[in-house]
Chains A and B, each alone.
Chain A
């Protein structure tokens, strides 16, 4: 529980324990190729509302990155653009199939391919060893015995959702309401099967602290809005509202002292005083 609280007060890189599972130091790190297509915003009129575990807090979609399609061992591959570095475009996707493959692997990234000489066929395959926070870690490349011929395909819309992952910790009141809780939100993508899937089994949820009165710390969503959860229950219900940036900032300012007090209570340490507010 303390970990989640501290995450909100530490630098963006995060401490070592917040990183992915016990994976060796990453040799090659790739990121999704940047897309500049405007995000399609959700309807603010759909808020506030009550949802349950697995319910959608916020959904949006955008045009995905460049894509390649190919055939490999009788299987159709759809590969999205990634960047290993500025000069090394990769195309990554799932290249496993068959009934024996675990559900959570079938739609996860398993490999990246690279056409190093630009002849329209990939000669190198990189296995994906880990994924966290959108970045993927690649194994050393292997040279394909037969280059993978591919062709460009239209970018697909990427559907993304922030789902409510339910409570992680907290005390349960007689009415089932949680106090001093930690709740989870999960960022997922729509799989080809229509289901929401984590980008990788290693993808970690985002933890949000909720306080004595049931209000949870706000979390920024795309499009300039911020969502605020409140009144989480032990059985997995929660109230979700969408706030504009000003209301969100006011809520965060109001909750900040509660967050500090809770960290100090749970760690037994005194945090340094906050920086002075700008002159008003």
Chain B
């Protein structure tokens, strides 16, 4: 349902576009750490579909805390009355140039939404909430900070925990096969490409500019590498018997990604249709 609502919103934006102005905003994401692949994780398999996840590794940000008391909802909004229980783990993101905010994802009816908390006076208690909307592209660590702030009725203590134990998502690489096809009267070579990105509800969100492709010609094996990971392909792509082997998983690494968001503004009233 959430995906449908999102699709509807995109559709409406597209309809409104011809009469609209566009504002493009770029921010750098907070650093995301890709953790090493556990030794027991599978490292080879058959390529069974066009888009095949071949590596899935844990990702966190580089700071995490746990709250020592429950957080009640600021303003007692009906939508977010649940708050967070004591012990909830929050991931750290940069706030401004020299401070941190600590965020968690709230499950919502239409879409999951982020709420971030700040210790504005540095006394060791989170005192301000900053609702931050839905995650950009669905990746919880990708936040376009919003400006609204609400003071918490009761400041809440927090303690640092190892960043690796903070809230985690999955990052990894996906293999995409492109079969041989006729183009301008000639058959093209079958190709394979490897892209780095994040998994959101089992959908892959590629990071732009982080991919590599190879033509599957000759006998193979063929090797693809991205961000320190190396994948070997072997077999026959035309007979549907291609295998992959993880030669090297993604080494533990840190990345800040450039997030570019285009907002379409218009003075024309655009009705929002929600599919049911």
Contacts and interface: CB of A to CB of B under 8 A. Distances in A.
A234 B94 contact: no
A163 B97 contact: yes
Interface residues of B, number: 22
A205 B255 CA distance: 15
Interface in A226-259: 234-236
Interface residues of A, number: 32
Contacts of B163: 234-235
Nearest to A103: B147
Given A22-B24, A235-B163, A170 B254 contact: yes
B256 interface: yes
A163 B98 contact: yes
Nearest to A22: B24
Contact of B33 (A55, A197, A234): A234
B225 to A, nearest CB: 11
B31 A172 contact: no
A136 interface: no
Contact of A55 (B31, B98, B256): B98
B94 A166 contact: yes
Contact of A167 (B31, B63, B98): B31
B254 A169 contact: yes
B98 A172 contact: no
Given A169-B254, A171-B253, A235-B163, A21 B94 contact: no
Contact of B26 (A21, A53, A103, A188): A21
Interface of A: 21-22, 53-55, 100-104, 163, 165-173, 178, 181, 186, 188, 195-198, 205, 234-236
21 contacts: A21-B25, A21-B26, A22-B26, A55-B98, A104-B96, A165-B97, A166-B31, A168-B254, A169-B254, A169-B255, A170-B254, A171-B251, A171-B254, A172-B33, A172-B254, A173-B252, A181-B254, A186-B97, A195-B96, A197-B97, A236-B62
The 9 A-B residue pairs whose C-beta atoms are closest, nearest first, are A54-B98, A172-B252, A102-B147, A22-B24, A168-B256, A171-B253, A167-B254, A21-B26, A169-B255
